[in-house]
Amino acid sequence: MSEKVEFKKLREFGDIINDTIRFFKENFKPLLRVFIYFCGAFILAGMAASIMQQIGMQKTIRDMDVANTYGKLKGIFSVSYFLVFIIAMLNYTAMTVSVTSFIALYIEKGNTAPTVDEVWGYFKYYFLRVLGSSVLLSMLMIFSFALCLLPGIYMFPAISLMIPVMIFENGSLGYAFSHAFKLLKEQWWITAATLFILWIITYATTSFASLPAIILTMVSTLANGSKGLSNGVIIFSTILQYLCQVFMIIPIIGIALCYFNLSERQNSGGLMERIQKMGQHADPFANKEEY
């Protein structure tokens, strides 16, 4: 049996990527239960809102006169459009809080997967705090990317670390903001590269799983021409895309590993814990290695 993933340890670039995938595979079932329990309602609501929005937009584009630009914009930016955006924000917050809380409890329980009830205790405490913080951080990211992209690129690693800091250290947004930049000192490039690769892996995995929907959409577009996609294709594609959000667990795990890697480089908390535990066994030969 392989050794379980230890979060509180130093890692190199490749180790973070490998351990992210390993933790995802080893804990897939308990992670999936937590994901369904805390994100399932948001995913179903998002599916329904997205289907309505896309069907409505398709009908608006098909029926509106070319000259009626205002009517087109009104049809596209409907109530369902903004509903999709709001539900997406709630869903991503639920994913981030539930998976990060799962990891916090996994560490607390000695590398053992927690139950849904245990995660619920963390989730109900942090959800609204993280939601409010996520709205502010999203606005900051949009503003940063609007400033010629470079400020947004610079801010992205720090903003990614802020939610883990809030949950793992029970810190405020102000503390998380300053501490994230402190953790990234002299480690910005390697952290940014790690996050970039994690998102590439997530995108590639999601795209591969969504391949049937992509092919069906292309075929339907070529077959129907100006009529656009059929409602059946829109529904199938939307459902598959939302189901593939389960792969969003991967970058959340990777960000947590990045946080602990950076924290260990500054504080060596995990190393100190392991040193202290070395003298806590009643039997001095309990962990003796055999050759």
pLDDT at 197 over 90: yes
User: Is the torsion defined by CA of 163, 168, 174, 180 positive or negative?
Assistant: negative
| Tally of CB atoms within 10 A around 263 | 22
Model confidence at 284: pLDDT above 90: no
Inter-residue contact 256 to 103 (CB < 8 Å):
yes
278's enclosing H/E stretch is none
Segments in 147-285 forming alpha helices (H): 150-168, 173-183, 188-209, 211-224, 231-243, 249-267, 269-277
Report the Cα 160 to chain-centroid distance in Å: 10
**Does pLDDT of 270 surpass 70?**
no
Written as one letter, the residue type at 104 is A
CA dihedral 158, 164, 165, 170 (to 10 degrees): 150
pLDDT of residue 221: 75
Non-local (6+) Cβ contacts of 22 within 8 A are 2, 5
Q: Do 243 and 50 form a contact (C-beta atoms < 8 A)?
A: no
How many CA atoms are closer than 13 Å to the CA of 128, on its beta-carbon side?
2
Minimum mean pLDDT range among 7-16, 150-159, 224-233, 264-273: 264-273
Mean pLDDT for the chain?
Answer: 84
How does pLDDT run across 112-122, given as a tens digit for each residue?
999 999 999 99
More confident residue, 30 or 74: 30
Average pLDDT over residues 156-180: 93
Confidence of residue 58 (pLDDT cuts 50, 70, 90): confident
| Rounded-to-integer distance, Cα 180 and Cα 258, Å | 11
> Beta-carbon neighbour count of residue 56 at 10 Å?
16
Helix axes 173-183, 150-168, angle to 10 degrees: 120
Q: Select from 199, 38, 253 the least CA-distant residue to 126.
A: 38
The H or E element that residue 228 is part of is none
Residue with the two structure tokens 């937590």:
34
Evaluate if residue 16 carries a pLDDT over 90.
Answer: yes
Token representation of residue 8: 């509180």
